[in-house]
Amino acid sequence: MPKSKNRMWHWETERKYGLERHEVYGAYNRWKSIEDGLVIFLRKDEHTQGEYAIHNNKEFREYAQWVAMNRWCEYYHKTKEDFRKRYGFYAVEPKENENV
């Protein structure tokens, strides 16, 4: 399988038939993620099944977290520092970002 360098990760921002909800920030941030709307909707193979599923793929996870952090700042008119205060860390900028 090719390395996922230029892979375009895919998700939906609204629930559609057959999709599963994924909290972009999990564990102790799960409820904040839900409260703030940082949830995405994925097919099973994008969510938990297979090597490109977000739960199994760090690049996908980090990319979604990066996008979510930036959307969060835009939507709530906040800074990345505000984000760090609420979530405990900054999302990492993906290296592939320049290609997407």
Least separation, in Å, of the C-beta of 98 and Zn ion?
27
Residue 61 touches Zn ion, criterion: CB under 5 A: no
Q: With the CA atoms of 33, 93, 14 and 77 taken in that order, what torsion angle do they form, in degrees rounded to the nearest 10?
A: 70
Number of residues that bind Zn ion (CB under 5 A): 1
Give me 26's structure tokens: 């999990």
Give me 90's structure tokens: 């900054």
**CB nearer Zn ion, residue 37 or residue 78:** 37
Residue 22 touches Zn ion, criterion: CB under 5 A: yes
Chain residues that interact with Zn ion, rule: CB under 5 A:
22
